[in-house]
Structure 1
Amino acid sequence: MIIALTYYLGGGTAEVKTLLTWLGFPDPKTIPVSLSHDQGNKTLKIFAQAWEPSRDFARLREDLAKQIAVVAKKVSWRSQDILILETHYNNLKKAGYNEADSLQSVIVNLKG
């Protein structure tokens, strides 16, 4: 019921649906086992939009940091994705999250 209400109050957009899929103790069955490049790219862009507004919600931000790292590991990234990956790396590093290491690893592999 709470998820349905959140979806409705959030405007029912694809972005809200993506956030609800990944954040707030989601059902593990709803988390994709793998993501296409396009899905991963869209997901990280939505997460980037949610980063700053999440600053006053510690548990949400922790969950967001964790899921950013999860998404980063599930996708075969391309060199043109370095900007979004670096954005997340910088946000995570600045906020003191260890998940920044996962992003750094992906970036280093891309720059190879």
Structure 2
Amino acid sequence: MHGGHARHRSARRRAADGLRHPRHPDDAVAHRLSSVLDTLRSRTGTVYLHVDLDVLDPGEGTANAFAAPGGLRVDDVVTLIRILRSVLRIGAIALTAYDPTYDAESRIPAAALRIAAATAEDA
């Protein structure tokens, strides 16, 4: 496995750990992200959001060969986007890293639509 992918996946697992079992997911995520969002808000009002779909746990669907257990749920990603949108404007979004040959049940397109829709809620 390429070292960059291993580091990337490890960081995703650590982030996912904080999302899986908090008392109230929005509060727990907001608390963890507050300093990062404050820094971003001081630098810009608009962000470009890039989501590699292999960040999703394979239980949500398999985006590609790099999808690994311990990833985020679609609800987790939607929660993060809502928190981000409460502070910053999302100017553009890219949903990437999808290889349909790995998505035997064709679950990722619906997940991607939910993620994309969260960027435009109440816009």
TM-score (norm 2): 0.40
Structure with the greater alpha carbon radius of gyration: 2
Higher helix share: 1
Higher strand share: 2
More relative contact order in 1 or in 2 (CA 8 Å, sep 6+)? 2
